A and B are shown apart, each in its own frame.
Chain A
C-alpha cells in the first residue's frame, strides 16, 4: 500500500495513458470494452487523485517525484503540493464525468470501431495532457504536455459540428503560435540560466533580476500562456472553438482546457520570479489591463447572442479575465480567489456545457429561444442549469460567489478599486444574460412539439441515459459543496501553500 502511495503522482497519469494506448487494440475486438477501459482508467485516476489530496493535506508537505530516479536539475521532477493536488482532482473528476457523458453521443455516431477508439483516445489524451501540465515541475516538459493538450483539442473540436474543422484549423494556427512563443520564452530563460527545472530557475533568478533578457522572456511567456488560456486580446480562437466542438467533449474543452494553462501561468510566474522585481511589476500591469478589458468585453459580447453555446463561450472570456485579475492583484486573497475561481468556474462551465450537450442530445437545439418549458421534461438538466447559472452570477450559497468574494477582498486590500467596480459591473451583466436564459426556460411557451421529441429519442419518458445524469449530479454537488466548505478549502488547504510557495 505504502509502495503504491509513493508512486501516486505518476500513476494518475499512467492509468489513462495505458488505457488510451490500448484502446485501439481493444476496440478492434469490441468497441464497448475499449470505451469502458478508458472510463474505468479515468475513474482510477479520480481515486488516486483523492488519495493524493488526502496524503498531501494531512502531511502538510509537498510530494516530489523524480522521474527516472534523477535528481531535479538533471532529470524531470513532479511536484505536488496542496494547490496542485486540488487542481489535479478537479481535472480528474471532470475528465471522468466527461468520458461518461460522451458515451451516448459516441454510440449514436459510431460508424466503425476505430471511431470509438479514436474519440476515447483523444479524450483520455486531453486528460493526460492537462494532468501533466498541472503536475510537472519542468519548463520543457510543460511544453510537451501543452502540445498534447492542444492536439487532442484540435481533434475534438474538428469532429464536432459542421463548422468544427474551420474553428479547429484556426485554433491550430493560433495554438501553435502560442506554444512557439512559450518555447521561445523558455529559450530565453535557458540561455540566461542554463537550466529548465522550475525550482532551479527560481534559485537562479535573484542574481538575474531586471536583466533585459528576463523581461523579453516574460513578454513571450505572457503571449504564449495568454493564447492558451484565451485572455482578452488573444482570445480569437476561443468562441468558435468552444461553440462548435463535439458536444460530448465540450464540457472538458470549455471547462478545463483554458483553466489549466492559467494555473500553469500562476505556477510559472509566482514560483520563478521574485515578487517585487521589475519583471513582476510588468506582469501585474499587463495582466491587470488584459483582465479588466477581457471581463468587460466577454460580458458585453455575451449579451448579443441567442445561441446558448456562444453565450457560454463569451462568458468564458470574462471568467478567464477574473482569474487573470486574481493574478494581477497578487496578494494572498487575490491568489486564493484566482485558484478558487479556477476550480469553481471549471465546475460551473462544465455543468452549463453538460446541459447544452444534454439539450442537443435530446432535442437537437442550440438556440435559447427554443428553451420554453423544457424544465417539465428534463428536471435534472434544468436544475443543473439554474444552479450553475446562479453560481456564475455569484449568488451566495454557491461556489461562484466565494471566489468573487476573495477577489474583491484582495482588490480592496491592495487598494485597486477599479477591479472591484469591474467585478460588480460584470456580475450585473452576467445576471442579465443568465436570467434571460432562465426566464426563457420557465416563462416562455413550449416551442418543441411532442412529435419532434418522439423522433429524436427512442425511449419516451426517460429524461436522459444514466451516463448523462451522473455528470450533472456530480457537478451540482460539487458547486454546492465548494460553496458550503469554502472556508475550509480556502483557509486550510490553499492558504498555507499560497503564502509559503507563491508569496515567499
Chain B
C-alpha cells in the first residue's frame, strides 16, 4: 500500500501536478470559448487564472520548507519556501479581480442593450 502511495507521489511530483494544472487551464480556456453564457465565460476566465496562479506557485515549493516569514534564528535559504512566485501571484490575483469587475460591468451593459446574455441570441440579433 505504501509502495503505491510512494509511486503515486513520485509521479505527481515529477509531472502529475503540472499535468492537472495544465488540464485545469485547458478546461478554463475551453469554457471561455465554448460556453454560450457570458456569465459562465467570466467564471471560466477566473478558473483559468487560478490555474495559472497555481502553476506559478508550484515552482516555489520546497521539500521541508516553511512559510516565507523569517524566524528569529533561521536564515538559511533552504528553510523557506521561495517567496518570489508568491509576490508575483499576489499581483496577478489582484489583476484578475479587476478584470472580473470590468467583465461584470460589461455584462450588465450588454444585458441592457440586448436584453440577454446568451451568445446565440445576441448574434441572432445582429450583435456581431
Contacts and interface: CB of A to CB of B under 8 A. Distances in A.
Contacts of A196: 88
A352 interface: no
A486 interface: no
Nearest to B127: A166
A180 interface: yes
Contacts, number: 69
Contacts of B80: none
B39 to A, nearest CB: 11
Interface in B3-18: none
Interface of B: 25, 29, 32, 38, 41, 45, 48-49, 52, 55-56, 59, 85, 88, 91-92, 95, 98-99, 102-103, 106-107, 109-110, 113-114, 122, 127-128
Contact of B102 (A143, A151, A162, A184): A151
A166 B128 CA distance: 8
A361 interface: no
B68 to A, nearest CB: 16
Interface stretch (A84-92, A171-179, A280-288, A331-339): A171-179
Nearest to B108: A165
A144 interface: yes
Interface in A356-381: none
Contacts of B41: 173
B52 A183 contact: yes
Contacts of A177: 29, 32, 48
A382 interface: no
A177 B109 CA distance: 22
A154 interface: yes
A144 B98 CA distance: 12
A147 B99 contact: yes
A168 B25 contact: no
Contact of A169 (B49, B85, B98, B110): B110
Interface string A148-187: 0001001100100011011011001100110010011001
A180 B99 contact: no
A318 B113 CA distance: 32
Interface residues of A, number: 26
B95 A180 contact: no
20 contacts: A140-B91, A147-B95, A147-B98, A162-B113, A165-B110, A169-B38, A169-B107, A169-B110, A172-B99, A172-B102, A172-B103, A173-B32, A173-B41, A177-B29, A177-B32, A180-B25, A187-B55, A187-B56, A190-B56, A191-B59
A151 B59 contact: no
Contact of A165 (B99, B106, B128): B106
Nearest to B109: A165
Given A154-B102, A163-B127, A169-B103, A184 B113 contact: no
Given A151-B99, A196-B88, 14 more contacts: A144-B95, A147-B99, A151-B98, A154-B106, A163-B127, A165-B109, A165-B110, A166-B114, A168-B106, A169-B103, A173-B41, A176-B45, A191-B59, A240-B128
Nearest to A192: B59
A154 B113 CA distance: 17
A187 B52 contact: yes
Contacts of B85: 190
Interface in A228-264: 240
Contacts of B29: 177
A86 to B, nearest CB: 29
A180 B102 CA distance: 17
A155 B101 CA distance: 12
A291 B56 CA distance: 32
Interface in A373-404: none
A162 B126 CA distance: 12
Given A147-B95, A151-B98, A183-B92, A169 B55 contact: no
Contacts of A155: 102
A166 B99 contact: no
Contacts of B55: 184, 187
B109 A158 contact: yes
Interface string A396-418: 00000000000000000000000
Contacts of A184: 25, 52, 55
Contacts of A166: 110, 113-114, 122, 127-128
B48 A180 contact: yes
Given A177-B29, A177-B32, A184-B25, A140 B88 contact: yes
B48 to A, nearest CB: 6
Contacts of A173: 32, 41, 45
Nearest to B126: A163
Contacts of A158: 106, 109
Contacts of A163: 127
Contacts of B110: 165-166, 169
B91 A144 contact: yes
A169 B52 contact: no
Interface in A66-85: none
A162 B128 CA distance: 12
B52 A180 contact: yes
Nearest to A165: B109
Contacts of A172: 99, 102-103, 106
A172 B99 CA distance: 8
B45 to A, nearest CB: 5
B36 to A, nearest CB: 13
A158 B105 CA distance: 10
Interface in A290-347: none
Contacts of B109: 158, 165
A144 B95 CA distance: 8
B59 A180 contact: no
